[in-house]
Structure 1
Amino acid sequence: MAAYCNEVRKLEDKFDGLELNHIARRFNEAADELAKAASGRMPVPDGVFVSDQFKPSIRHPEPARVSEAPPVPGSDPDLGEVGSAPPVLGPNITDWRAPYLDYLVHDTLPAKQTEARRIARRAKSFAVIDQELYKRSHTGILQRCIPIEQGKALIQDIHAGACGHHAAPRTLVGNAFRQGFYWPTAVADATQVVRTCEGCQFFACQTHLPAQALQTIPITWSFTVWGLDLFTGKKFLQFCDDHYIRVDWSAMAHPRTNGQVERANGMILQGLKPRIFDRLKKFGGRWVAELPAVLWSLRTTPSRATGFTPFFMTLL
């Protein structure tokens, strides 16, 4: 919205007077209904003009990358492109796709009997289309087989790229496979990327273990502080006053909703902190530029509980 506001500000000198007001969503019911109708592909109401825009109406500058991902040794800059051809590997690097292509195209197996049986057994889930090797997933979708170095670059881009929120290895691999790519060491590569990410390790959840052996709790310690949910009344307050007991009150309005909001905020913070982390520079105010990328990544990542993305659930 800041980009649209800046475009409006540029037109101030063309009018005698200009007043710009921000209206909250709950008070802008007309625009909210139009947005829901467009996202849900509902029939257009009478009196509404429809115009399909195929490019943004404003020029929104891309935020500067806070920390560039470290280059993968031996990888080219174009390894992460979807339509690029498979890179030519060096003489000392073996392509994992070569045995499958030799068997499926030339009907040639390795000399070792164990390796030959493994290739023949696993080749049933592969197919060759236009000289490219594809793997059939468990859902029947064909995934393009890419070299391991290209897969590492792809994982690095998903993890800390333009719309990455430093997710866990399982989420990274799922995103790569859903985009139609496959390589055998995807899980190990994603785990290595997360373990070597300085921001992820700095803000990782700490295991709170006792520094020493557990000690027996004194009998009187349990009565030092009481944290109980009690119903109030005159007798209860009088009892507390007589025994010099301090009562601390807490509001519990909509506890379920509050828990969901806190969970969502925690996921956003967990994705923001590694992206803006820098040991040498202050990064307190740079979260604003990284927030849209983190929100987009979270909204387009399927949930393990439902199997769908939050963006898809809003359309139901």
Structure 2
Amino acid sequence: MDPIISFLRNGTLPYDATTSICIQHMVANFILIRDELYKKAFVGPYLKCLPQFEADYTLRKVHSKICGEHLEPLAKITEANAKQFVWKNIICCFGLTAKIITDNETQFTGRVFTSFCKDLHIQLVHTALAHPQTNGQKEVTNRTVLKGLKTRLEKVGGQWVEELHNVL
């Protein structure tokens, strides 16, 4: 991002002609606001570009939010609690999902939760504890999502915010 910032601040380009041409084409997509770099989004607000250390920190924070720090202890897990959890912690944070993979516990197989998923066109997939070959389905899905996140977001560097919705 340094060459883009340099060009936006004072019009300086790298000495390499090929890099200079690339910077001149890319710079139209960026803006400096109070000396901070933002990417212009086609639709929506400007997206703040983060240096690598801040991007790593932010991804760790997002991951911890997704993977546990947001969980609220419950005395009893009911269908209504499961429905509220999915709404508040998945749909409101990330939008509708195509599929939810759960175990066969009653809070996920009852009428309230299954109707909720059906009404939102979410495919509800149940794993069976008696079938070891399906026990790892949730873990495999989580691993796949994390691998996809890491791979695609590392490629875009400071533009990870714009790419995040494509991975999720």
Structure with max Cα Rg: 1
- In proportion to residue count, which structure has more helix? 2
Category of TM-score, reference length = shorter chain: 0.3 to 0.5
**What is the TM-score when the length of structure 2 is the normalising length?**
0.45
Larger fraction in strand: 2
Higher relative contact order at CA 8 Å, sep ≥6: structure 1 or structure 2? Answer: 2
